Structure 1
Amino acid sequence: MELEGRQLKMARIFKAPIELVWEAWTKPEHLVKWWGPNGFTTTIHKMDFQEGGEWKLTMHGPDGTNYPNRSIYKEIIPLKKIAFEHFNPHFITTVLFTAKGQDTQIDWRMLFDTPEMLETVIKAHKADEGLKQNLEKLSNYLKSKK
């Protein structure tokens, strides 16, 4: 993981073909199985997976707290890139997909408006740890699909 001014970045290689990793990101029935930090579950209310489309979900914390999320897809390049704008807190997420033989590398970047906002989100919501856990949950989910 790398913190760079306004960015939280992480890369990881998954032992799964790019088509499966892409599907895990783009199909609600897969996404709900791994999205969110450890102990959280996710309900997807809307996932209009196209540029300009809205993505609304609620993450349910282990303590019963609900965390509504809203994003708009900004750029989608099949099997290569997903970018979306998240609101409240505001940041842009860019996820790059790269085939590495039968494996897939993901480069995940969250760009915040200010370094202070990034720091606040890390302190208040442990966004850095949550990102690590999210990637670990995705890895475990992909292993279960083989």
Structure 2
Amino acid sequence: MTKVENFVKREIVVNAPMEKVWEALTKEEHLNKWYTKEAKLDFRVGGKGYMDHGWGATSEGTFTEIVPMRRFVLQGNDGDFTTITNVEVVDEGVKVSITYSASYLEEMDAASKENMLFGTGQFLENLKSVYETGLDNRKNLWQAWIGIVHTTHHESIGTEILQVNDGSAAANAGLQPGDIVIGLDNVPVLGYESFERFLNSKAINEPVSLQVLRGAEELELRSNVEPYPVSY
């Protein structure tokens, strides 16, 4: 993950031929295999692109640059948010990088930025899975939560709670804004992504033990795992 001024980037290497990876990124029927619930693309400079990602998220815009087998750029309808996709042949296969650029990214709060990059990473991992093993993992993504907004703590291992939703499992467990979660079931939490991955591995209604720093005090709190509030 790279963060520089007004853009952020996520990348992965897929062990597949360039032609297949390019199709996976640019053709409706192939996008639907690993990424979108529905894609509508007029893939040409000046053409429109619409993608329903599932979980209530959509994106759309205009293709402003296409270099076959190298890169393409989708300019969002708001005129600011831009998605730049690059592909490059490397020893292990094809490196795919997705860069988001917008003036407001500098001011975006850390939790929102981490959530966006984590989501992109999840889909890129699914691209790798589908084209290397044939396994589509989307049914296993974003199933569980406890009702918090959090971000990687900037000074220590863990993730800091910024918001606890009223009536959520986290609220019932006694979690508070400012708490730093350093472990789940005594497995160390290294940051935002570490927390999300571990939590999503738990079954719905299964209890999870949270090791928490609250000021100078270390606490252990127990929370039930709830269904993610937005279905696929």
Instruction: Give the alignment's TM-score, normalised by structure 2.
Output: 0.52
Rg: which structure is higher?
2
Alignment partner for residue 38 of structure 2, among 40, 43, 63?
A: 43
Tell me, in whole angstroms, the C-alpha distance in 1 between the residues paired with 2:123 and 2:109.
18
Is 1:105 aligned to 2:95, yes or no? yes
Deviations 1:54-95 (A, max 9, x none): 01122321xxxx333211111111101111112359411111
Question: Identity over the aligned pairs, expressed in percent?
Answer: 26
Q: Write the mapping of 1:107-126 to structure 2, written as runs, cut at 5 A.
A: 107-114=97-104, 115-117=106-108, 119=110, 121-122=112-113, 126=115
Asked if 1 retains the 8 angstrom alpha-carbon contact of 2:44 and 2:63, the reply is yes
Seen in structure 2, the aligned counterparts of structure 1 residues 85 and 119 have a Cα distance that, compared at 3 Å, is farther
Tell me, in whole angstroms, the C-alpha distance in 2 between the residues paired with 1:17 and 1:140.
14
Tell me, in whole angstroms, the C-alpha distance in 2 between the residues paired with 1:135 and 1:88.
25
Segments of 5+ residues of structure 1 without an aligned counterpart are: 36-40
Tell me, in whole angstroms, the C-alpha distance in 1 between the residues paired with 2:43 and 2:16.
22
* Aligned AA (1:47): L
* Aligned AA (2:49): W
For these two proteins, the number of residue pairs brought into alignment is: 133
Higher RCO, Cα 8 Å, sep 6+:
1
Segments of 5+ residues of structure 2 without an aligned counterpart are: 135-232
Task: Give the corresponding residue for 1:130.
Answer: 119
Instruction: Give the alignment's TM-score, normalised by structure 1.
Output: 0.80
Helix, strand or coil: the match of 1:33?
A: helix
Asked if 1 retains the 8 angstrom alpha-carbon contact of 2:11 and 2:121, the reply is no
Task: Give the corresponding residue for 1:6.
Answer: 6
Tell me, in whole angstroms, the C-alpha distance in 2 between the residues paired with 1:29 and 1:4.
34
Seen in structure 2, the aligned counterparts of structure 1 residues 118 and 47 have a Cα distance that, compared at 3 Å, is farther
Q: Give the CA deviation at 1:100.
A: 2.2
Q: Give the CA deviation at 1:122.
A: 2.1
Task: Give the corresponding residue for 1:52.
Answer: 46
How well do the aligned residues superpose, as a CA RMSD in angstroms? Answer: 2.2
Q: Give the CA deviation at 1:119.
A: 4.5
Helix, strand or coil: the match of 2:34?
A: coil
Deviations 1:90-128 (A, max 9, x none): 4111111111257111222111122114757426xx101
Tell me, in whole angstroms, the C-alpha distance in 2 between the residues paired with 1:8 and 1:102.
24
Helix, strand or coil: the match of 2:94?
A: strand
Helix, strand or coil: the match of 2:84?
A: strand
* Aligned AA (2:127): L
Asked if 2 retains the 8 angstrom alpha-carbon contact of 1:112 and 1:118, the reply is no
Task: Give the corresponding residue for 1:29.
Answer: 29
Seen in structure 2, the aligned counterparts of structure 1 residues 68 and 102 have a Cα distance that, compared at 3 Å, is closer
Tell me, in whole angstroms, the C-alpha distance in 2 between the residues paired with 1:3 and 1:51.
28
Seen in structure 2, the aligned counterparts of structure 1 residues 72 and 119 have a Cα distance that, compared at 3 Å, is farther
Task: Give the corresponding residue for 1:38.
Answer: none
Tell me, in whole angstroms, the C-alpha distance in 1 between the residues paired with 2:79 and 2:33.
24
